Amino acid sequence: MGVRIHWEQVPAPVRGAIEAALGSNVVQAETQPTGFSPGLAARLQLADGRRVFAKAVGPEINPLSASYHRREARVVAALPSTAAVPRLLFAYDDGDDGWVALVMEDIDGRQPHQPWQKDELSRILTAMVFLAESLTPSPLAKELERSASDAFTTQLCGWKRLADQSPSRLDMLDSWSRRNLDALIALEIMAGAAVAGDTLLHCDIRADNILLTEDRVWFVDWPHVRVGAAWVDVVLFAPSVTMQGGPDPEEVASMHPACAAADPAALSAAIVATAGYLIYHSIQPAPPGLPTLRAFQAAQGEIARRWVADRTGWT
């Protein structure tokens, strides 16, 4: 998980700006331990009785996280009220070399149980159907949109990157991956075209980015959005479910109507690319402030690799 800091460790000017914008002082802060964003992630109790959620990070903690917070602020501000996303209340930005903070509506909910429970998984997949409907076509302005096709072509191309690595890097792969590397690259190349669509995708749905209330499923953390086919979020989500005690990824995908209706070859290309991305990044050095990320990616990568093997029948 990300290295969390507490409210009292946030620079005083940032805390002061948040309190001024909210019109009330913070009397209690409850740090949220899960998730992979470093910095502050806390539920704040205000003197006037309100509760809000705040996240904040400075460049010294992780140089990329501030830019993610800035993008999330723009994305969430543009989402329709029909989307099950906590509303953005306030954004603070010190500039390129300073702190960024987001204050959002607090959701009095909980994350899904682990190991995964079938009824909760079914409820979440149904909510993902409604989320995709509310975000089709993408509500973002064109200058803010980024395509899933571009991401799969330039970023989720881990098998090609692994093939370009030194032999010592390839030795870190399992024998199945080494034996099938050329075929994996050939299928991975098809993923960019396969994932094209007009739905705004979250691209990072996992248990720690979901909150369940009695009557609703909420999706949080929106910096990585892309526009593409509605089923892509399910492909990216499924390995994490299996890793955390849920059904195998093929069963997870079969529970979502967009996956059931998708071209099987397109699904396979996206699954191959997802596996390659996870495996490639799992053997890279850990990013600042995220000491457990690589192990998390490695566990999902192995599940996604087995998913590929099962779908292709390659030995």
CATH number at residue 79: 3.30.200.20
Judge whether residue 311 has pLDDT over 80.
yes
Q: Is residue 110 part of a domain?
A: no
Higher model confidence: residue 45 or residue 35? 45
Q: CB under 8 Å to 5, separation ≥6 — which residues?
A: 39, 40, 61
- In this structure, the answer to whether residues 158 and 203 fall within a common structural domain is yes
How high is the pLDDT of residue 50? 98
Could you tell me if residue 112 is inside a domain? no
How many beta carbons lie within 10 A of that of residue 312, not counting itself?
15
Nearest to 230 by CA among 253, 206, 207: 253
Kindly tell me if the per-residue pLDDT of 271 is higher than 70. Answer: yes
Claim to verify: residue 168 and residue 123 sit in the same structural domain: yes
Domain presence at residue 218: yes
Strand partners, 226: 201
- 178: domain CATH number is 3.90.1200.10
Greater confidence (62 vs 159) lies with: 159
pLDDT value of residue 263: 97
Strands 4-5 and 39-46: parallel
Cβ-contact 56, 8 below 8 angstroms: no
pLDDT tops 80 at residue 183: yes
In a shared domain, residues 51 and 166: no
**What pLDDT, on the 0 to 100 scale, is given for residue 35?**
72
- Whole-prediction pTM: 0.94
Q: Are residues 168 and 301 in the same domain?
A: yes
pLDDT (average), residues 168-182: 87
pLDDT value at residue 2: 60
Q: Binning pLDDT at 50, 70 and 90, where does residue 28 land?
A: very high
Domain end point (choices 46, 75, 105): 105
pLDDT at res. 308: 98
State whether the Cα torsion 222-223-225-231 is positive or negative: negative
Helix (H, G, I), strand (E, B) or coil at 80: coil
The pLDDT score that the predictor gives to residue 250 is 98
Are residue 77 and residue 173 in the same domain, yes or no?
no
pLDDT of residue 122: 98
Query: Quick check: is 111 in a domain?
Result: no
Instruction: Give the mean model confidence (pLDDT) for residues 158-164.
Output: 92
Burial 81-110 (b: 16+ CB within 10 A, else e): eebbbbebbbbbebeeeebbbbbbebbeee
Report yes or no on 219 lying in a domain: yes
pLDDT at 208: 94
The parent domain of residue 170 ranges over 118-312
DSSP state of 182: H
CA gap 15, 24 in Å, rounded: 11
Average pLDDT of the chain to the nearest whole number: 94
Among residues 105, 134, 149, which one ends one of the domains? 105
The answer to whether residue 1 scores a pLDDT higher than 60 is: no
Give the model confidence (pLDDT) of 133-153 as tens digits: 999 999 999 999 999 999 999
User: If residue 88 lies in a helix (H) or strand (E), which one and from where to where?
Assistant: strand 88-93
CA distances from 269 to 66, 208, 304, 311 (A): 32, 26, 12, 11
Q: What mean pLDDT is predicted for residues 285-313?
A: 93
What is the DSSP code (8-state) at residue 56? E
Q: Please give the tally of structural domains in the chain.
A: 2
Residue 113 lies in a domain: no
With a cut of 70, say whether residue 275 has pLDDT above it.
yes
- Domain membership of residue 87 (yes or no) is yes
64 and 139 assigned to the same domain: no
Q: Indicate the residue among 70, 105, 140 that finishes a domain.
A: 105
Q: What's the whole-number mean pLDDT along residues 242-264? A: 97
In the block, tokens 């400075």 appear at 58
**In a shared domain, residues 187 and 86:** no
- State whether 71 and 126 are in the same domain: no
Instruction: Kindly state whether residues 144 and 251 are assigned to the same domain.
Output: yes
pLDDT tens, 55-98?
999 988 777 889 999 999 999 999 999 999 999 999 999 988 89
Residue 256 and residue 296 in contact, taking contact as beta carbons nearer than 8 Å: no
